[in-house]
């Protein structure tokens, strides 16, 4: 199934939530910002894919049929260049201003972004405010991430008929 290009009301809602988050959330400690090479890929990706992950089904060792060790429930390729850029920039902005994060780390959304031969993969747990990032110029590492960038990712998955798992108890 194809991805969805957000309507103006949806984009307006995302902009309002992003602005409120920027005003109310503290700046992220510079040691917890995405590396420059990761930000470059995310800010203008040539390709972007959004994945729904099963946070309860994890295997160590990163088997080839999994994403960051998690079972893949569904995926959607974002065809629109404008939407790819919007999602990538939302992820970068969500890393710049974050609130408190928790230790659960049950990622349920994955993102793969590519630009000029470089690839970034993120496994995000918006419930706890953390994201595991692997990409150029960095080893796989956990970074803080605000919850509001989940909106356009969830929208892409929902438009493709992909059902997300329920939050952990």
Number of Cα atoms under 13 Å in the Cβ half of residue 128: 19
- Number of Cβ within a 10 Å radius of residue 16: 11
- The model carries a pTM of 0.82
Greatest Cα pair distance in the chain: 42
C-alpha–C-alpha distance, residues 132 and 121, integer Å: 8
**pLDDT single digits (tens) 43-89:** 999 999 999 999 999 998 878 899 999 999 999 999 999 999 999 99
At which residue do the structure tokens 């917890």 appear? 32
Please give the domain boundaries of the chain with CATH numbers for all domains.
8-159 (3.30.1490)
Q: How far is CA 21 from CA 29, 43, 87, 98, 138, in A?
A: 16, 19, 16, 8, 27
**pLDDT single digits (tens) 119-144:** 999 999 998 899 999 999 888 999 99
Name the most confidently modeled range: 130-139, 140-149, 152-161: 152-161
**pLDDT single digits (tens) 1-17:** 444 555 666 666 655 55
Please give the structure tokens belonging to residue 150: 């989940």
């Amino acid at each position: 199934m194809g991805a969805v290009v957000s309507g103006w009301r949806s984009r307006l809602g995302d902009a309002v939530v992003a602005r409120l988050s920027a005003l109310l959330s503290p700046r992220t400690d510079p040691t917890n910002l995405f590396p420059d090479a990761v930000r470059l890929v995310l800010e203008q990706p040539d390709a972007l894919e959004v994945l729904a992950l099963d946070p309860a089904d994890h295997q160590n060792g990163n088997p080839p049929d999994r994403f960051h060790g998690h079972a893949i429930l569904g995926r959607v390729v974002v065809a629109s260049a404008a939407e790819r850029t919007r999602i990538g920039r939302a992820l970068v902005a969500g890393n710049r201003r974050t609130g408190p994060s928790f230790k659960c780390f049950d990622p349920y959304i994955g993102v793969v972004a590519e630009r000029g031969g470089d690839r970034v993969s993120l496994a995000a747990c918006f419930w706890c405010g953390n994201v595991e990032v692997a990409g150029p110029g960095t080893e796989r590492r956990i970074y803080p991430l605000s919850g509001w960038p989940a909106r356009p990712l969830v929208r892409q998955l929902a438009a493709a008929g992909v059902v997300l798992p329920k939050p952990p108890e």
